Structure 1
Amino acid sequence: MSKGRLRQTLSNWANNEDQHARDLQQEYADAGVTPIAEAPDRELLRLRGTLRTVTLRPRGGVPALEAELFDGTDVVTVVWLGRRRIAGITPGRSLQVQGRIGRHDGTRTIYNPRYELIP
């Protein structure tokens, strides 16, 4: 693949990602939830987004299901302690969570949130 063609392919990919982020922002803004980028730490809030990744990552010897929630503005890590899997929690799934954002190793994280799967 030539440099020009590679550059064009990367540019198209970046533009598609930007458009996807704008679409998500609009979709979740209409739902009346707080955008992740504007969500304050340590306050009870509701967020909506799409799960980008879901991994099993033990914390302190305890199983923990960890997911990355993206709403087009920013990302927050959602962690369910003591869980190896949750039915319906898969990459690409839309989800609404309720909880408090804290920081763990500099990453914005919500532990054991209430959640609702969005069709």
Structure 2
Amino acid sequence: GASIFFSGTVRNQNDNKSVLGITYDSHDALVIKSFEEIYNEADQKLNIKNKAVFIEHAKGYLNLGEVSIIIAVACKHRDEAYVLSRYIIEEIKKRSPIWKKEHYVNDKSSWLKGNPILHEKN
């Protein structure tokens, strides 16, 4: 078997700006719903049996190096664990309503482009 433990941390640079920390905000109920949807989609698309998944994302202010997200995946085979872990983090970054406000060394801060709660209809 295999267990993968992914932890995302606050980086000191983004877009050539020196970052001191990040404030995370989210719509908690919709984040949980998005995590469940991502898990269920992975279940359908990847067809990995006998797995366990844990996902937790921070909310509030985090300093450099602090952990913002943890994804733990256990599967029968390491290839499955890597694929599932990667699928989950990529989908969370694309879809979950979690927003980041970066705080910079020049005492400025900026909200980064995030995922909307409602998507525009085409």
Q: Common fold, TM-score beyond 0.5?
A: no
User: Which structure: greater helix fraction?
Assistant: 2
Higher relative contact order (CA 8 A, sep 6+): 2
Q: Under a length normalisation based on structure 2, what TM-score does the superposition of the two structures give?
A: 0.27
The two structures have a TM-score, normalised by structure 1, of 0.27
